[in-house]
Amino acid sequence: MYNSQIAEIFEEIADMLELDKEKDRKFEILAYRKAAVTIGTLQEDVGDIYRKRGLAGLQELPGIGKSTSEHIKEYIETGRLKKYDELKKKYPIDFARLTNIQGLGAKRILKLYKMLGVKNIDDLKRAIKAHEIRDLEGFGEKSESEIGKSIAMLESSGGRMLLGIALPEAERIRDAIRNSGLVERVEIGGSTRRMKETVGDLDILVISSKSDAVMDFVSRLSEVERTLAKGPTKTTVRLKIGLNCDIRVLEKSSFGAAIQYFTGNKDHNVKLRQIAIGKGLKLNEYGLFDKKGTNTVTGSEEEIYRKLGLDWIEPEMREDRGEIELAQQHKLPRLVQLGDVRGDLHVHSRYTDGANSIEEIADEAAKLGREYIGMTDHSKSEYVTGGMTDKEFEKYFAAVDKINDKFDNRITLLKSSEMDILKDGSLDLQNKTLDSMDYRLAAVHTSLKMDEDEMTKRIIKAFDTGYINIFAHPTERIINQRPPIKMNLDKIFEAAKDNGVALEIDSFPNRLDLSDENILLARKYGVKFAIDTDAHRTEHLKLMRYGVSTAKRGWLTKDQVINTRSLKELRTFFKR
């Protein structure tokens, strides 16, 4: 429960330190940023790590040093951080929100504060409305309008939280309730169970005969900020991470109906209820009732679907996008599963902007049971990441070969790169370098604002080189932060199919790119997909589950996903 709070505070400290002109704080700033990424993407709670293994446990985390671990300890023990409070007095600015706006870094935020007194989003909106920003040095009219658009985008997200933050929190709460000894069963429902990319609130379903005790227990959980409503069957609490959580307690006989109902989505439920009515039955959260009012289901969710004449539908598909009709015809696709994944084809190491050595990555990936892993550090045009030249790739690949020998049959490392698709559609490495790779991944990183026509041509031209095997995070969107690039998806998907380019599903929780909807469109073109983690540190290798769920939400089967293949079959795909 502390992770997102501490990550945010570290980010903010780094932002504020950047404004401190008195001395060079480059390394200190970097330390806070690294620590923020580690904590922010950690699936285990830092509070638990500290309680179990103390400061030493914290310092074992990559990117956490002596001073950042002391900070974590201070925050866990006192709920405050002196260093943060002091900086905050000096800069009373809402960095956490303002830095979410595309194009606003710490320095520009400070300028807005000094020149216009902008402390938060509301101040910023006022300044835009009064056209005060366009006259500031280094801003201009275009930048004023971009900032306005970015605020609108942020606000239209309606405070929905990334699944990558909401799901681990829901799992912690579920486990705490499960271990309370008060309940018979507890499950996560709602959009979290459907693995939707963002979540409005958490829904947790409990089977217990001690409803009052369960509700008391929930209200006292350390994750809870306050209780908003408390009743015998439903309690709503506000969580410290800034999300509401509904907890419902039901009787055992209602479990199947309740988990079905509270998993949703609403449209799926409405359609199911109509099917029930057509059969002279009544479906609600308590059961499936016949004309006499007798509940005809007592057990599982499967039973409800079966009694209505449908096959059971995986939660990820329950969005009323045609899945009910397929279930009636017994024609549901058999969706790809996490256990089908055999390798990960998009991973960064310390050679560019990753945090771990190739060896550390190989070791962790092998522990996760991956059979192969593709090393895809950046090419030179992506210079902010320390992207490599052709010459540097020779050394990189030699290092990959060496680790490959060392690991023998435990795991196979593949030589690759996340290459830049340049503005004119060319690639930024020599053919000789490209030929020395096992496969090639490419992405658009710069000039993201091109118009649709130009961008479409740029990407297709890159596909036409015949060198690209995987098109990484195709739309470049960052959820709640950056809109997708403009391109003609139909043309791109068709060209991908023609050139044997697999489309990536990037598992990073703020990317999930392609999105479920785009996958549903792309699959019609018969194109293949690669579910990758885009890991920048070893813990990220576990993010695969988010990509797989997104693939399931896009109805993909195992054979449509290339990294479910054996290495031998994968190499055949790469040869086309």
State the minimum distance, in angstroms, from the CB of residue 82 to ligand DGT. 37
Residue with token string 């969710």: 301
* Residue placing its CB nearer to ligand DGT in the complex, 261 or 372: 261
Encoding tokens for residue 120? 């938060």
- 349 near ligand DGT, rule: CB under 6 A: no
Is the CB of residue 218 less than 8 Å from the CB of residue 177? yes
State residue 372 phi and psi, 5-degree precision: -150, 160
* CA-closest candidate to residue 143, choices 119, 114, 111, 117: 111
State the minimum distance, in angstroms, from the CB of residue 273 to ligand DGT. 6
- 305 near ligand DGT, rule: CB under 6 A: no
* Residue placing its CB nearer to Ca ion in the complex, 68 or 192: 192
* Residue placing its CB nearer to ligand DGT in the complex, 228 or 384: 228
* Residue placing its CB nearer to ligand DGT in the complex, 264 or 554: 264
Total number of residues shown for the chain: 576
State the minimum distance, in angstroms, from the CB of residue 263 to Ca ion. 10
**Partner interacting with residue 425 (select from ligand DGT, Ca ion, none; CB below 5-8 Å by kind):** none
Judged by the rule CB under 5 A, the positions of this chain that interact with Ca ion are 190-191, 201, 203, 246
Which position among 32, 262, 397, 529 is part of the footprint of ligand DGT (CB under 6 A)?
262
Helix 163-178 to helix 211-219 angle (10° resolution) is 130
Encoding tokens for residue 64? 């956490």
Q: How many CA atoms lie within 13 A of 467 on its CB side?
A: 27
Chain residue whose CB lies nearest Ca ion? 190
Binding mask 232-261 toward ligand DGT (x if CB under 6 A, else -) reads -----------------------------x
Point out which span in 266-274, 399-407, 541-549, 552-560 binds ligand DGT (CB under 6 A): 266-274
Point out which span in 26-34, 262-270, 465-473, 551-559 binds ligand DGT (CB under 6 A): 262-270
Encoding tokens for residue 290? 């016949």
Is the CB of residue 345 less than 8 Å from the CB of residue 376? yes
Encoding tokens for residue 55? 């400061």
Site size with ligand DGT, rule: CB under 6 A:
13
Amino acid, single-letter form, for residue 356? N
- 549 near ligand DGT, rule: CB under 6 A: no
Is the CB of residue 143 less than 8 Å from the CB of residue 133? yes
Which position among 200, 333, 484, 500 is part of the footprint of ligand DGT (CB under 6 A)?
200
* Residue placing its CB nearer to ligand DGT in the complex, 190 or 474: 190
State the minimum distance, in angstroms, from the CB of residue 244 to ligand DGT. 9
* CA-closest candidate to residue 92, choices 72, 110, 74, 116: 110
Is the CB of residue 538 less than 8 Å from the CB of residue 361? yes
- 203 near ligand DGT, rule: CB under 6 A: yes
* CA-closest candidate to residue 46, choices 60, 58, 34: 58
* CA-closest candidate to residue 469, choices 426, 440, 431, 430: 440
How far apart CA 357 and CA 274 sit, in angstroms, is 56
State the minimum distance, in angstroms, from the CB of residue 236 to ligand DGT. 10
State the minimum distance, in angstroms, from the CB of residue 201 to ligand DGT. 5
Which position among 226, 266, 331, 334 is part of the footprint of ligand DGT (CB under 6 A)?
266
Amino acid, single-letter form, for residue 530? A
State the minimum distance, in angstroms, from the CB of residue 138 to Ca ion. 42
DSSP code string of 528-553? -EEEE--BSSGGGGGGHHHHHHHHHH
How far apart CA 422 and CA 502 sit, in angstroms, is 19
State the minimum distance, in angstroms, from the CB of residue 253 to ligand DGT. 19
How far apart CA 547 and CA 533 sit, in angstroms, is 7
State the minimum distance, in angstroms, from the CB of residue 168 to ligand DGT. 16
Binding mask 139-178 toward ligand DGT (x if CB under 6 A, else -) reads ----------------------------------------
* Near ligand DGT in 180-199, by CB under 6 A: 190-191, 199
Is the CB of residue 230 less than 8 Å from the CB of residue 215? yes
Label each residue of 381-419 as H, E or C.
Answer: CCHHHCCECHHHHHHHHHHHHHHHHHHCCCCEEEECCEE
State the minimum distance, in angstroms, from the CB of residue 325 to ligand DGT. 18
Which position among 201, 223, 316, 513 is part of the footprint of ligand DGT (CB under 6 A)?
201
Which position among 43, 265, 298, 447 is part of the footprint of ligand DGT (CB under 6 A)?
265
How far apart CA 153 and CA 136 sit, in angstroms, is 23
- 264 near ligand DGT, rule: CB under 6 A: yes
Residue 359 neighbours by CB distance under 10 Å: 15
State the minimum distance, in angstroms, from the CB of residue 218 to Ca ion. 14
How far apart CA 505 and CA 547 sit, in angstroms, is 6
* Residue placing its CB nearer to ligand DGT in the complex, 98 or 188: 188
Binding mask 268-297 toward ligand DGT (x if CB under 6 A, else -) reads -xx---------------------------
State the minimum distance, in angstroms, from the CB of residue 190 to ligand DGT. 3
Is the CB of residue 481 less than 8 Å from the CB of residue 512? no
How far apart CA 229 and CA 440 sit, in angstroms, is 54
Residues that bind ligand DGT (CB under 6 A): 190-191, 199-201, 203, 261-262, 264-266, 269-270
